[in-house]
Structure 1
Amino acid sequence: MSPHPEPINLRIVRADYANESHGKALVLLLDAYARDVAGGGEPLSDFAKANLIKSMAARPQVYSVLAFDGETPLGLVNCIEGFSTFACKPLVNVHDVAVMAAYRGQGIAEKMLAECEVIARERGAVKMTLEVLSGNTRAVRLYQRIGYAGYQLDPSMGSAVFMQRLL
């Protein structure tokens, strides 16, 4: 017997921000992710919940993929297109990857990321990037297994480091 529910009708779909059920699913899933320790442990703000979908829809460089079991939302991936100046082509940053806790370990994130890659290729992207907390070993193993790796341009300069500055 599985320790978690098995999706019986898994659907991986490109989110349509104009579709109310997709919007509700995206906010629900992102809020669940934000509340998880891997997402910072705090719920989304009321402002984010109220404005997220229309703000994402207003940005053509943003796209999302959702996973459903029938009509039950299971997971999401949010991607943001950037630009590689060296390649003079788009790149895609995988910004959020989330699967509801009860459904983890079933390959749902891998299937969503595969669809994100299809979309990235359609957009002419030269690469996909993501950041992951080093303590999220399950996610790190998944990303490495499907081809993500740290990078460096010249070994004498060391590996790339993800940094932030809050505004």
Structure 2
Amino acid sequence: MPESIVPVVRESKRSEYAHSYYQGLLVEIGNLRKFNTFVPSQDKNKTFLTKPLSEYVTVHKIYPFSYDHLVKRVQTIDVVWFNERKMPDSFFEVEHSSDINNSLLKFIELQDLNVHFRIVADKNRKKEYHSKLSNNAFKPISERVRFIDYETLSALHSKTIEISLLQERI
């Protein structure tokens, strides 16, 4: 392989791994919080730590919780947490290198669902997130969308595991 292509391939693989890594953190947090967790079929074979994401999720076929067009749209969300009634609770979009606007467009389509909308990205993208969210088109969801940076997500994952281990000892 020409040397000029190698860095591009490595960066692409690194970006893909980072995306699935943060999906995996979200899935584990959801599982520990007793949610049912889902990732899209195109992501199920991506690796989190040493195993495919499919081995961590608890929902392998999305629940038919609403109209077909809404369920199909939700199937494209990076991580979904479902409550015990098989209704969506939270939608997470991991924006490692993709356009935040695309996630906000998904969220605006799903605004009639009573869910939490979360964008997960590097803290350096927070200004971009605020800029996009301030667009008038996203006004209906602007109070419902939150930004989670990777560092905060990682800390939340660690603390959630700690709490879970403590609860097991009670």
Q: TM-score range by the shorter chain?
A: 0.3 to 0.5
> What TM-score, normalized to structure 1?
0.37
> What TM-score, normalized to structure 2?
0.36
Higher strand share: 1
